[in-house]
Structure 1
Amino acid sequence: MFNLRVMTPADYDAVLALMQNTPGISLRDADSREATERYLARNPGMSFVAEAEGQLIACVMCGHDGRRGYLQHLLVLPDYRRQGIAQALTQRCLDVLAQLGIHKCHLDVFKTNTRAAHYWQGQGWTLRTDIDRYSFTRPGDENA
């Protein structure tokens, strides 16, 4: 059995360890403690963790721009996968977004992360083929 709760800044070390030990996840400067605290403060009550047996076993970060929601870093420890935890975390985020009147949500998956792509498609998410995402990084901040 697992328990879901809102992610807090105090969860950072455990979430970071989860990210570091999950294949397909890329850590950037934007994943620093300070940046994560800013993200949680800007999107209060929208990111969640799952715990079992006193251990943090999963997380998801969720935010919005006022019109669209965004999910990031949905991670579940391997021993706890296929138990509905990822689905429960995602649904919690989508419910919070809906309460804010936001009914469309996006997420990014690295093209090399076929396991994640398969998961999301199996959950009813649609791979967009009509748009490309462009990013700008200030010179000197290549790991932003």
Structure 2
Amino acid sequence: MIYRDMNTADYDAAYELWENTEGMGLSSADAREEITLYLERNSGISQVCVREDGTLAGTALCGHDGRRGYMYHVAVSGDCRGLGVGRALVARCLDRLREQGIVKCHLMVIAGNEQGQGFWAGLGWQRRDGILLYSQDV
């Protein structure tokens, strides 16, 4: 497996992985243009895992606002689960955040995504109660 920074050339394969990942929520914010801007604003933080044959095995979108880090779309293809790919992607993203002086990272998991909740709990992430998420299209 090869781990490296995510770039815009990874978009098509990444989007296909996200579409085929149970519990993954996609929206217009995941369009090519939006992801390209996100990667440019957060250069060198998001990560991918690529098999030796060049196919994408996993992704982790990650960035920060100067104060807190945020992780999105951590996804691993079904045939690569249980091999530590997700753990490695998360660790690489957190290393990049630390290098930029970010000391805390947040992420969101869809309420019904039991597998995702189990993954994050298994990595030691703490579930926060009492916080509600509000969104509005601008």
Q: TM-score range by the shorter chain?
A: over 0.9
Aligned residue for 1:17, secondary structure, equals helix
Instruction: Name the aligned partner's letter for residue 122 of structure 1.
Output: G
CA contact (8 A) 2:25 2:110 kept: no
Q: Identity of counterpart residues, as a percentage?
A: 45
Shift of 1:114: 0.8
Counterpart Cα distance in 2 of 1:137 and 1:38: 17
Shift of 1:50: 0.3
Q: Which runs of 4+ in 1 moved over 4 A?
A: none
Shift of 1:129: 1.1
Shift of 1:111: 0.2
1:62-107 CA distances to partner (integer Å, 9 max, x unpaired)?
Answer: 0101010000000000110111110000000000100111110000
- The answer on 1:42 being equivalent to 2:41 is yes
Change (3 A) 1:131 1:26: closer
Counterpart Cα distance in 2 of 1:126 and 1:81: 22
Shift of 1:27: 1.6
Instruction: Name the aligned partner's letter for residue 32 of structure 2.
Output: R
1:7-60 CA distances to partner (integer Å, 9 max, x unpaired)?
Answer: 110111000110111111122110000001000000000111101132111001
Instruction: Name the aligned partner's letter for residue 34 of structure 2.
Output: A
CA contact (8 A) 2:69 2:104 kept: yes
Aligned-residue CA RMSD (Å): 0.9
In structure 1, the residue matched to 2:78 is 78
Q: How does 1:1-144 map to 2 (within 5 A)?
A: 2-52=1-51, 53-138=53-138
Q: Which runs of 5+ in 2 are unaligned?
A: none
Counterpart Cα distance in 2 of 1:27 and 1:118: 20
Whichever of the two has the greater Rg, that structure is 1
How many pairs were matched up?
137
Shift of 1:130: 3.3
Counterpart Cα distance in 1 of 2:137 and 2:66: 23
Instruction: Name the aligned partner's letter for residue 44 of structure 2.
Output: G
Q: Which runs of 5+ in 1 are unaligned?
A: 139-144
1:98-125 CA distances to partner (integer Å, 9 max, x unpaired)?
Answer: 0111110000000010110011011000
Aligned residue for 2:129, secondary structure, equals coil
Q: TM-score, normalised by structure 1?
A: 0.92
